[in-house]
Structure 1
């Protein structure tokens, strides 16, 4: 899978699992070529010994053997930017058990053990808006050194390397700046992006990035909110529907009109509202199924655009709906 005709939605993993989804539920949402899960290198270090001992890839151990694994530097569920300063030895993060530093050698060990199909090389985060030119040069030099060590290893030959746009884009920019920076990236690259908001997700899809990891569908589900976004027939209702509201007590409509997900086929808004009212955990599962299905349908629609111009038109139309 060296050539990827994106964009594809990447499912972020949490503690070695697909958040709120069983592998079978994910299979119903994603077609075979769409089955991608992402894992940060920090989380992956916890699974190297298990995968080695079992002589299985991580996807096989997770009961999702046909899913492709994308190894990233940061987990979008925890935040895209570093939680600890990096050094020439490697990149760092503060985890529950303390600070962890991952070196290029550790990265190679993870690739050898978990057997991902794609991987983002180690890199330091480079904020182009940082006023310190010396700091930027240090980060660039460090990232280049990491990349040289990784590409010289035998492990890099078994995986397709993917460039993280977060390595070079501004940090904390508004959506217009984010879109402008995405458009400025060279065409033809194999890019990975971690989106934070719905607008950022649409911008990444419009840019045609190969892989887009997005945590918002799960965050919304945890808060009792359903995504209501359709391409062909704009809804008169809000894009985000808060089902905690008593307004939905007797509403027997599906979460989104025309949605074919399991939740909308089997249940209605009043039922989800009831589950939220009694604090039943199934509410988060059912909302996650719907939100992830909606997010994947969007990615699929952008992937089916025949030209870049059509993709841009579709993205602009969606952004106007927000």
Structure 2
């Protein structure tokens, strides 16, 4: 497509404009995504995964005022209880266009993306079937019928709705299971479009999900996306970053959402180089909860070597350091607070610590993607990517302190006898109860008797027997 401004396009639900299409041949893409009623998003950019519809440790007013998160990803399994139809989100009396947006109080300037499972998804003990996928809800592992997902996603009216895909989480799968995954995803896509044609029109835009398979393993599905479904879909949801490099030519002009779980900025650079337009960044929240503040930059990595991607605010060296988290950083945390304060908050287990770290780390990711777009535009992306790989460690620093309590969907249960994931919040009360009973009975405790003997030895009193 031409590099015209997306705002000049006809009034429609969504438009995506690719700029500098000669770069797209090499994988790199610059684009602008415009959704009706939302600010235009420059791509490549990031998506913040949510927990129960919100970014952990960030309230919606903080999200709007102190961060620049362009889009959030929401998993329907977060809201399902015993049955999908009984979930409170479906019974909200909303006068707005999106019941989901009202339910989670999402700011109007943030794009909502709805999928069946959260990112990253927790592996379930039960398996997908021909008509359902396994999910992890707040009341345990369940199965979500494909028809239920399609019917329930429509009234929620997210800005972008992903079709359902048969994603296999096992590392080793048979050829028969691969074929089954492709066939199921293909059939479910057809069912989704059929159900959408029969329902009342809404503002949601459908993105076709593509499972993490090789192109030849799902050639029939990709062929139908190009020939039959192209006019019905508005984008692509990828469960593997590598899939972007092997998409058919007919799908090249569609925006791509990468639903993988990158573990560092290095993974983000690889995903962008392959041609992904929007990337989920779940590792940001994990880093904040570990007490780590990002300190990397794509533009300032030329002369560095083996630098850490962030620094640990649990470290005692920050106890008296009144400098900002990162020099010249313009985020709220760095302009209003210093390292010693964050270290104190972490040591005291104050919730504000993780909120301030989230604000800083999301600001760092937003700035990182802005540097990526600038590098693509001026042709220096490949050089800066090499310099970044040499300048920074491969992994984000590990946690050295105890973060917030782990939620149930963050860990896989392995059955009885497994160790506790969280430390006990409260100690035993027997000792306090004993002391209280002695005080009420008037019997002196050993500590009081010892103190009286000390006073007598110093000639300040006499113990009455």
- The normalised TM-score by structure 1 is 0.84
Contact 1:251-1:268 at 8 Å conserved across structures: yes
Hey, what's the Cα distance between the residues in 1 that align with 2:267 and 2:153?
Answer: 29
Hey, what's the Cα distance between the residues in 1 that align with 2:124 and 2:214?
Answer: 14
Hey, what's the Cα distance between the residues in 2 that align with 1:259 and 1:87?
Answer: 49
User: Tell me, what secondary structure is at the counterpart of 1:247?
Assistant: helix
Runs of 5+ unmatched residues, structure 1: 171-177
Contact 1:44-1:114 at 8 Å conserved across structures: no
User: Which has the larger displacement, 35-44 or 139-148?
Assistant: 35-44
Hey, what's the Cα distance between the residues in 2 that align with 1:82 and 1:39?
Answer: 18
Structure 1 157/314 Cα, relative in aligned 2: closer, same or farther at 3 Å? farther
Hey, what's the Cα distance between the residues in 2 that align with 1:93 and 1:319?
Answer: 36
Hey, what's the Cα distance between the residues in 2 that align with 1:139 and 1:181?
Answer: 15
User: Is 1:168 the equivalent of 2:213?
Assistant: yes
Report the CA distance between 1:138 and its aligned residue: 0.7
Structure 1 301/44 Cα, relative in aligned 2: closer, same or farther at 3 Å? farther
Equivalent residue, structure 2, for 1:276: 346
Runs of 5+ unmatched residues, structure 2: 1-13, 17-32, 34-41, 81-86, 216-239, 394-465
> Rg larger in 1 or in 2?
2
Structure 2 residue corresponding to 1:14, chosen from 51, 71, 75: 51
1:110-130 superposed Cα distances (whole Å, 9 cap, x missing partner) = 322221111221000157974
Report the CA distance between 1:212 and its aligned residue: 1.3
Equivalent residue, structure 2, for 1:232: 299
Hey, what's the Cα distance between the residues in 1 that align with 2:284 and 2:185?
Answer: 31
Structure 1 295/83 Cα, relative in aligned 2: closer, same or farther at 3 Å? farther
User: Is 1:195 the equivalent of 2:261?
Assistant: yes
Structure number with higher relative contact order (C-alpha < 8 Å, ≥ 6 residues apart): 1
User: Tell me, what secondary structure is at the counterpart of 2:147?
Assistant: helix
Hey, what's the Cα distance between the residues in 1 that align with 2:209 and 2:369?
Answer: 18
Contact 1:226-1:241 at 8 Å conserved across structures: yes
Contact 2:322-2:338 at 8 Å conserved across structures: yes
Structure 2 residue corresponding to 1:112, chosen from 138, 149, 154: 154
Aligned length: 311
Task: Quote the RMSD (CA, aligned, Å).
Answer: 2.9
Hey, what's the Cα distance between the residues in 2 that align with 1:152 and 1:13?
Answer: 29
Structure 2 residue corresponding to 1:251, chosen from 303, 307, 321: 321
Hey, what's the Cα distance between the residues in 2 that align with 1:101 and 1:128?
Answer: 18
Report the CA distance between 1:22 and its aligned residue: 2.1
Structure 1 76/2 Cα, relative in aligned 2: closer, same or farther at 3 Å? same
Report the CA distance between 1:157 and its aligned residue: 6.8
Equivalent residue, structure 1, for 2:204: 159
User: Which has the larger displacement, 261-270 or 227-236?
Assistant: 227-236
Structure 2 residue corresponding to 1:54, chosen from 69, 94, 112: 94
Equivalent residue, structure 1, for 2:39: none
1:69-118 superposed Cα distances (whole Å, 9 cap, x missing partner) = 10123312554x66641111121113341333223322223322221111
Contact 1:48-1:109 at 8 Å conserved across structures: no
Which structure shows the higher helix fraction? 1
Contact 2:73-2:112 at 8 Å conserved across structures: yes
